[in-house]
């Protein structure tokens, strides 16, 4: 008798899907860095998006921590809800990030000295780990939804701290770069 849970996609098919999604996202984000100003649509609403992105990253961080607390407390359903929330918020963040970088020119960090080095160290680690965590999150969720909780737990132990680091450093990067935007949007 076969007791394995069947999934909507094979492991090999899911691997291909993850590769396609990861390459598409990284390609789009990279392309936007080199999009000439004259090819960028302008949108006044885009000025609020860095703050929205920082807010989304804050909410992702909170959902991740609450999800960890829930699973450590044995509340599997609550854990799943928080992790799904973190995934949805991260997806909305990505859409907002792409929209912002499509509609605006690149902002250069204006700090000097030690703060400049700190900014670029945080930013570089944030970018590298943000690229790496996307397929990790997809696989972690895949193993959970396919019922392979042994693999899910192994992946989650690595994915969780990276995902949390990326979401927290996203907020830090926002507060460090915000004074150098060509526009000022501070809701507080």
Q: Where are the domains of the chain?
A: 44-180
What is the pTM (predicted TM-score) of this model? 0.83
For position 71, what pLDDT does the model report?
A: 97
87, 136 contact by CB (below 8 A): no
Average pLDDT for 63-72: 98
Q: Pick 73 or 19 by higher pLDDT.
A: 73
Report whether pLDDT(6) > 90: no
Distances, alpha carbon 103 to alpha carbons 31, 50, 188, in Å: 13, 12, 24
Share of the chain above pLDDT 90, in %: 60
- Which H or E element spans position 159? helix 149-177
Instruction: Please write the tens of the pLDDT for every residue from 150-178.
Output: 999 999 999 999 999 999 999 999 999 99
Range 134-151 average pLDDT = 92
Cβ neighbour number for residue 104 with a 10 Å cutoff: 21
Are 103 and 43 contacting, i.e. CB atoms less than 8 angstroms apart? Answer: yes
Q: What topology does CATH give the domain 44-180?
A: 1.20.120
Confidence at residue 15, expressed as pLDDT on a 0 to 100 scale: 79
Distance CA 14, CA 12 (A): 5
pLDDT digits (tens, 9 = 90+) for 111-128: 999 999 999 999 999 999
């Amino acid at each position: 008798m076969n007791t394995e849970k069947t999934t909507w996609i094979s492991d090999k098919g899911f691997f291909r899907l993850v590769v396609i999604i990861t390459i598409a996202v990284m390609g789009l984000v990279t392309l936007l860095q080199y999009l000439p100003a004259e090819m960028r649509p302008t949108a006044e609403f885009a000025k609020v998006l860095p703050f929205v992105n920082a807010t989304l990253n804050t909410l992702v961080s909170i959902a991740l921590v609450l999800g960890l607390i829930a699973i450590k407390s044995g509340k599997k359903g609550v854990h799943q809800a928080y992790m799904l929330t973190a995934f949805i918020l991260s997806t909305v963040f990505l859409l907002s990030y792409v929209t912002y970088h499509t509609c605006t020119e690149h902002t250069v960090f204006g700090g000097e000295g030690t703060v400049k080095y700190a900014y670029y160290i945080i930013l570089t680690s944030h970018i590298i780990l943000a690229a790496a965590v996307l397929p990790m999150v997809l696989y972690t969720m895949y193993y959970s939804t396919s019922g392979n909780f042994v693999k899910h737990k192994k992946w989650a132990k690595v994915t969780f701290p990276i995902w949390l680091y990326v979401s927290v450093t996203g907020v830090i990067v926002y507060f460090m770069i915000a004074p150098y935007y060509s526009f000022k949007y501070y809701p507080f």
